[in-house]
Chain A
C-alpha cells in the first residue's frame, strides 16, 4: 500500500508540472505554429494593433493548452480556410509547382549558360584556327609583349 502511495505521489510530482505548464506566446511550440499561419494576411502585422492576429494568437494558445498537437492545429486551419491558411504553399500539385519552379528556373538557366558558353568558346576555337599565323616570328611576338608591358606600366 505504502509503495502504491509513494509511486502515485512520485508520478503526480512528475506529471503535474507538465500538465499545469501552460503554453504562452513565448513558447517554442507556439512560435513554430504561428510562424506557419498566414492569419488572413495579418501575419506581418504588429500584434498590439491587429485584432485579427490577436484572435489567432489566442486560438493557437488555447488549442495547445487544450492538448492539440502542431499538425492537428495546422490541419484545423487548413480544413477551415484551405491552403490559404498557410504562409507557404503546402503539398499537392500547386505546392510542387510553387517550390519547384525556381529550381527549374536555375536549372534551365544553367543549361542555357552552359550551351551558350560552349557555343561561344567553339566560335573562338574556329577563329583561332583562322588566325593562327598572326605572329610571323618570335621577334614580333616579343615586341608585342613588350608593348603590352609598357602600356600596363603606363597605367600606373
Chain B
C-alpha cells in the first residue's frame, strides 16, 4: 500500500512533466504523434491520481493507523462517512483532492469533442503545470502516504466541528469551483498564446465557467449553513479570511459572466475579460495560500502548515507568466473591437456592474489583507473583523442590488430614457410600497428598510421581465400562460436562468438584511421547570440528561417550546464530550418556520437543575438557504441550455459587411 501510494505520487510528477514536454515537442514539430502521446499522459494522470485517491479512501475507511494522515484525522469510533471525508480534513489529503479533480477535469477537457482544437495542447500543458505543482508539493512536503514511527493504538480523531454533513459537501464543492476555474484560465491563456483574439475561448469555456461559479456558490452557501448549524454563535458568515478567499473569486467570476456577454455581442472588453479570468484563477491560488500559510488567523486554516511558500511561489509564477502573455498580446487585443453606441445602454450598465463587483472584491481583499499590510508598513497591529466588512460592503452590495434591478430594463446598444422610465414604474412602485408597508407596520432601522425596498424593486424588475416576455409570446403565438412561460424560458435559458439566479440573490438579500438587523439574543440561566421568554417564544426547561453514544458523553437539555402561546414541540440542544478532543462540541437546536429561526445553545450548567442557555431569534435565515437553492437551480438552468452567443458577433459582423 505504502509503495502504491508513493509510486502514484511520484508517477504523477513524472507523467505531468512528460505530458508538458510531449506537448511542447508536438507543437514545435507539429507532430500529432507527440500531441497524441501527451493526451495519453493526461489519461494516465487521471488514472494515477484516482488510484492514489481510492487508496487513501481505503486506508481511511479501514483505519490503517500506521499512516500518519489516517492517525491524525480519524479514530476507530468515527462513523465511516466521516472517516472517508477525513480525506480532505488535512493538508495532504486536500492537496490530493485538488490534484485528482484537476486531473479528471483535464481529461474531460482533453477528450471532449474539441480535442482536435489547436488550442488543446496549450490548454492541457497549462493544466498539467498545475497538476505537476500539486504532485510536487505532496512529494516534497505533504505526503498523504507518510508512515508513523510507531503505530498508535487509535487515531487522534476528527475535529468535532468537522463531523457534520457540511463536511461532505462544503470542501468538495469549493474545490470543484476552484479547480473548475483553471479550465477557462487555461483556455484564455492558450487563446492569447495562439493570438486568437476572437471569443472562441469564451464560447468553449462558458459551461466550465458557469459550472465553477455554480460550485463556488454552492460551496459558499453550504459553508454558511454549516457554520450556522455547527459553530454555535448564531451567524453564518463571519468574514473570516478564508471565507473571504472563497468569496473573492465568486465576485470576480460574477463580473466575468456578465462582461463576456459584451465580448460575445460586441467583440469588446477582450483585455478586461482575459484579465478577469486570470484574476479569478490567481484568487483561487491566493485562497489556498491563505489557508496553508498561516499568515492570517482563521478557523479554517490548517494549523501546522508551511506550504504557504510553495503556493506563493507558484502564484507569483502564474501571475507573471499570465501578465507577460497579456502584455505581449495587448496590441492585438485592442484591435477590432466595437465601440459602445451610447452612455445609456446595457453595455454601459454591465461595465458599471463589473466595476461594482470588482470594487467589492477589492474591498474584501483589502480588509482581509489589511492587518498584514498595517503591521508591515506602519507597525500598528489592527484587526479587520466582521463589523468593518458589514459597514464597507453594505453600500457596495446595495448599489449592486439596485443595478440588478435596473440593468434588465435597459436595452442593448442605445436605450430610450422615456421607455426605460415607463418600464421602471412598476418595479419602482413595488420598492416604494415595500418601504411604506415596512414603516406602517412599525419596522425600525432605516438602512434595513432601504435595503429591503431595493431588493423588492430588484425582484419586481425580474417579475416584470418574466411577465413581459410571457405577454409578448402569448400575443405572437396565442399560447396559454403556462405554455408560454415554459417555452419562453426554455427558448432562452441563458437569459432566464440568469434572471432566476437574480431572484435567488433577492431572496438571500432579504435573509441577510433581516437576520443581520433584527436578530435578538438572550443569555439566561434557568432552573428546571422555569421558562425563558424571548419574542413570541417561550421555552420551558424540563431537565438535563446524560448518556453516551459511540464512546462520547452527551449532555442533553429537554425544552418545551411554545410560539404565540401554541405548543410547537420539543427541542434538545446538546453538548458532546469527545474522548479524542479536549473541547466539548455544541449541537445547536433549531426550530424553523418561514419567517424566523429559534436558535438555542446549551451554554453551561451549575447542576442538573440550573442551566444557562443562549437563545436567539434569527429572522428569515431560512431564506438564505432557499435563495442559495434558487441560485443553483437558475445556474443549472442556464448551464444545460443556452445557445453560445459567439455567433452573434460574427452574424452582426456578417450583416454589417453585407450591408456595407
B is a partner of A: yes
**A residues bordering B, Cβ < 8 Å?**
24-26, 31, 35-36, 38, 41, 43-49, 82-84, 86-90, 92-95, 97-99, 101-102, 105-106, 109-110, 112-113, 116-117, 120-124, 127, 131, 134, 144, 153, 155-156
Asked if B524 and A26 make an inter-chain contact with CB atoms under 8 angstroms apart, the answer reads yes
In the assembled complex, the CB of A125 is this many whole angstroms from the nearest CB of chain B, namely 8
Where chain B touches its partner, the secondary structure class is mixed
Asked if B381 and A120 make an inter-chain contact with CB atoms under 8 angstroms apart, the answer reads no
Chain A residues with CB below 8 A from B522, complex form = 26
In the assembled complex, the CB of B519 is this many whole angstroms from the nearest CB of chain A, namely 11
Asked if A88 and B385 make an inter-chain contact with CB atoms under 8 angstroms apart, the answer reads yes
Known: A48-B603, A83-B382. A110 touches B232 (CB 8 A): no
B575 nearest CB neighbor, chain A only: A48
Asked if B343 and A44 make an inter-chain contact with CB atoms under 8 angstroms apart, the answer reads no
Asked if B386 and A82 make an inter-chain contact with CB atoms under 8 angstroms apart, the answer reads no
Asked if A113 and B614 make an inter-chain contact with CB atoms under 8 angstroms apart, the answer reads no
Q: From A35, A94, A95, name the one whose CB has the most chain B CB atoms within 10 angstroms.
A: A94
Residue B380 is within 8 A (CB to CB) of chain A in the complex: yes
Known: A102-B359, A110-B355, A131-B660. A87 touches B385 (CB 8 A): yes
Chain B residues with CB below 8 A from A122, complex form = 339
Q: From B339, B358, B473, B602, name the one whose CB has the most chain A CB atoms within 10 angstroms.
A: B339
Q: From B299, B355, B386, name the one whose CB has the most chain A CB atoms within 10 angstroms.
A: B355
Residue B512 is within 8 A (CB to CB) of chain A in the complex: no
Known: A116-B351, A117-B343, A117-B348. A89 touches B382 (CB 8 A): yes
Total interface residues on B, CB under 8 Å, equals 62
Asked if A87 and B383 make an inter-chain contact with CB atoms under 8 angstroms apart, the answer reads yes
Residue B392 is within 8 A (CB to CB) of chain A in the complex: yes
- 16 CB contacts below 8 A, A to B, read A44-B385, A46-B586, A47-B233, A48-B612, A83-B381, A86-B382, A87-B383, A89-B374, A102-B363, A106-B396, A109-B356, A109-B358, A112-B355, A121-B341, A124-B340, A134-B660
Other-chain residue from A43, A98, A105, A123 in contact with B382 (beta carbon distance below 8 A): A98
Asked if A88 and B384 make an inter-chain contact with CB atoms under 8 angstroms apart, the answer reads yes
**B residues bordering A, Cβ < 8 Å?**
231-233, 235, 238, 240, 268, 297, 299, 339-343, 348, 351-352, 355-356, 358-359, 362-363, 366-367, 370, 374, 378, 380-388, 391-392, 396, 472-473, 476-477, 491, 521-524, 575, 583-586, 601-604, 612, 614, 659-660
Chain B residues with CB below 8 A from A38, complex form = 383, 385
Asked if A48 and B382 make an inter-chain contact with CB atoms under 8 angstroms apart, the answer reads no
Known: A121-B339, A156-B473. A109 touches B382 (CB 8 A): no
Known: A49-B583, A110-B355. A84 touches B382 (CB 8 A): yes
CA distance A35 to B144 in the complex (A): 41
Asked if B351 and A46 make an inter-chain contact with CB atoms under 8 angstroms apart, the answer reads no
Asked if B232 and A49 make an inter-chain contact with CB atoms under 8 angstroms apart, the answer reads yes
Asked if A48 and B604 make an inter-chain contact with CB atoms under 8 angstroms apart, the answer reads yes
Chain A residues with CB below 8 A from B233, complex form = 44-47
A38 nearest CB neighbor, chain B only: B383
Asked if B381 and A121 make an inter-chain contact with CB atoms under 8 angstroms apart, the answer reads no
Chain A residues with CB below 8 A from B352, complex form = 113
Asked if B523 and A47 make an inter-chain contact with CB atoms under 8 angstroms apart, the answer reads yes
CA distance A15 to B524 in the complex (A): 26
Asked if A89 and B523 make an inter-chain contact with CB atoms under 8 angstroms apart, the answer reads no
Q: Which 10 A-B pairs have the closest CB atoms?
A: A87-B385, A124-B339, A46-B232, A102-B363, A123-B339, A48-B603, A84-B381, A120-B340, A88-B388, A25-B523
Chain B residues with CB below 8 A from A35, complex form = 387
Chain B residues with CB below 8 A from A97, complex form = 370, 374
Other-chain residue from B268, B342, B382, B586 in contact with A94 (beta carbon distance below 8 A): B382
CA distance A126 to B381 in the complex (A): 54
CA distance A153 to B71 in the complex (A): 67
Asked if A82 and B381 make an inter-chain contact with CB atoms under 8 angstroms apart, the answer reads yes
Asked if A95 and B382 make an inter-chain contact with CB atoms under 8 angstroms apart, the answer reads yes
Chain A residues with CB below 8 A from B238, complex form = 44
Asked if A105 and B366 make an inter-chain contact with CB atoms under 8 angstroms apart, the answer reads yes
Asked if B388 and A105 make an inter-chain contact with CB atoms under 8 angstroms apart, the answer reads no
Chain B residues with CB below 8 A from A36, complex form = 387
CA distance A36 to B396 in the complex (A): 22
Known: A84-B382, A102-B392. A113 touches B351 (CB 8 A): yes
CA distance A156 to B474 in the complex (A): 10
CA distance A88 to B390 in the complex (A): 11
A81 nearest CB neighbor, chain B only: B381
In the assembled complex, the CB of A25 is this many whole angstroms from the nearest CB of chain B, namely 4
CA distance A111 to B392 in the complex (A): 20
Chain A residues with CB below 8 A from B473, complex form = 156
In the assembled complex, the CB of A39 is this many whole angstroms from the nearest CB of chain B, namely 10
CA distance A127 to B358 in the complex (A): 30
Known: A46-B601, A48-B575. A98 touches B351 (CB 8 A): no
A92 nearest CB neighbor, chain B only: B380
